[in-house]
Structure 1
Amino acid sequence: MTEAVRTDPFTVRLEVRSYELDPQLHVNGAVYQQYADHSRFACVQAAGVSVEELIGDGLGPVNLETVIRYHRELRGGDEVDVSCAWVWGNGKTYRVEHVLRLPDGTPAAEVRHVSGLLDLRNRRLVDDPAARWRERAERPELLGLR
């Protein structure tokens, strides 16, 4: 059984760049997912997990479902804090949740993933992905694990 731990979510601050804007001058919808991906990768690195070793050992994190909920538009030059919180269950999947907020705390969007850890050799999700992440992390609490 996975033992989850509640911590403040890992957060990175990003600045909206001009090339991320669509013709209405707000952030293109696909970029919200890229911001979430950036936050998750930074969180994994901060937890001390080597993505190169993970992939070299035949394991790859995959997103199986992504849902984006928009609250307000982001525009060029805005700064946005992107959190990353891991939510563990007992199966082969887990959730990673991101909240994008302006520096004043106003929510701009939420990005939620259902994810898994894929065995790249047999193309199947591994059992107990939390255990695999925990054994590789120097700071498992950043991944919501004890």
Structure 2
Amino acid sequence: MLSYEIDPQLHLNGGYYIQYADHARYACVQAAGISVEELVGGGIGPVNLETVIKYHRELRGGDQVEVTCAWEWGDGKTYRVHHLLRRLDGTVAAEVSHVSGLLDLRTRRLVARPDREWRSRARQPELLGLPEGEAATS
């Protein structure tokens, strides 16, 4: 945590929880072998439609955290990504959950099956919770 991330009560400012989650999700996508730049260059962009933060324990200046990234797929236009922010001692400080989709940048509409779009680009789809070669059906 950096000093500018801290609010007057010496807590991590709420907006940074979202930034930490976004960074973890981006790193997960990159680890799966997907270039977000190429995705956007191809006319599709990831979007968050809803974000919820549940605070469990305060994070204060000097705390270090690990951020997990778990993907949940269905058969519609949206998917969920869940993040846990844990102190290094394992204490869960917060949960950040997103309802997300892939936006067709030409039509400004959500892509019908984002799981298929992500899978078609991923070298390691299992990092996104997508079994290799299978279509999501739940």
TM-score by length of 2: 0.94
Alpha-carbon deviation of 1:104? 1.3
- Unaligned segments of structure 2, at least 5 residues: 132-138
Aligned length, in residue pairs? 131
Distance of 1:17 and 1:141 partners within structure 2: 33
Residue 48 of structure 2 corresponds to residue 63 of structure 1: yes
1:23-76 deviation per Cα after TM superposition (whole angstroms, max 9, x unaligned): 111100111000000000000011110111100000000000000000011111
Report the counterpart of residue 61 of structure 2 in structure 1: 76
Code of the aligned partner of 1:30: G
Report the counterpart of residue 81 of structure 2 in structure 1: 96
Highest RCO, 1 vs 2 (Cα 8 Å, sep ≥ 6): 1
Q: What fraction of aligned residue pairs are identical, expressed as a percent?
A: 73
Alpha-carbon deviation of 1:126? 0.4
TM-score by length of 1: 0.89
Q: Which runs of 4+ in 1 moved over 6 A?
A: none
- Unaligned segments of structure 1, at least 5 residues: 1-15
1:44 to 9, 23, 29: 29
Code of the aligned partner of 1:17: L
* RMSD of aligned Cα (Å): 0.5
Report the counterpart of residue 120 of structure 1 in structure 2: 105
Distance of 2:100 and 2:37 partners within structure 1: 19
- Paired residues for 1:24-35 under 5 Å: 24-35=9-20
Residue 125 of structure 2 corresponds to residue 136 of structure 1: no
Distance of 1:131 and 1:119 partners within structure 2: 14
Distance of 1:45 and 1:76 partners within structure 2: 29
